[in-house]
């Protein structure tokens, strides 16, 4: 078996081992099949989002347009915030306790509904 890679003149498209020789490999129009390993590329290198391996530069190149790059930054910030927030039950409990201590006005019927549940099902061992 022979190591090969396929590129479009600029970017790595695929790589692998050729079964039973190169005569069975055929590139699509505009693509090139080359024996050997892609220049500078180490097999298994994870590609950053929106990047492709540039054959000539021997590095990952960001191929996203400005709008996609901005959208990716915004989506990453949203993902980080979502993962950092406490779960919704904890957030609701924080609001109820803020109302109960007078740190914020009591919002009805939210406050009285939650208070009725807390009163009817007290925490064990808490007076």
pLDDT tens-digit map of 21-30: 555 677 889 9
Locate tokens 């039950």: which residue? 89
Distance CA 52, CA 60 (A): 5
Q: Identify the bridge partners of residue 17 per DSSP, sorted by sequence position.
A: 3
Joined tokens for residue 125:
């061992």
pLDDT tens-digit map of 31-81: 988 888 888 888 777 888 888 899 889 999 999 999 998 999 999 999 999
pLDDT for position 24: 64
pLDDT for position 27: 80
Domain spans, the chain: 2-66, 87-120
Distance CA 53, CA 93 (A): 49
pLDDT tens-digit map of 82-118: 999 999 999 999 999 999 999 999 999 999 999 999 9
Strand pairing report for 12-18 and 2-7: antiparallel
């Amino acid at each position: 078996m022979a190591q090969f890679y396929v590129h479009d003149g600029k970017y790595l498209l695929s790589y692998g081992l050729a079964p039973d020789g190169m005569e069975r490999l055929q590139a699509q129009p505009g693509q090139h099949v080359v024996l050997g390993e892609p220049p500078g590329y180490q097999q298994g290198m994870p590609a950053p989002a929106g990047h492709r391996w540039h054959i000539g530069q021997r590095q990952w190149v960001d191929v996203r347009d400005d709008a996609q790059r901005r959208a990716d930054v915004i989506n990453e910030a949203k993902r980080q915030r979502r993962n950092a927030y406490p779960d919704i039950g904890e957030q609701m409990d924080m609001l109820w306790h803020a109302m109960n201590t007078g740190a914020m006005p009591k919002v009805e019927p939210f406050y009285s509904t939650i208070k009725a549940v807390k009163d009817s099902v007290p925490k064990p061992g808490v007076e």
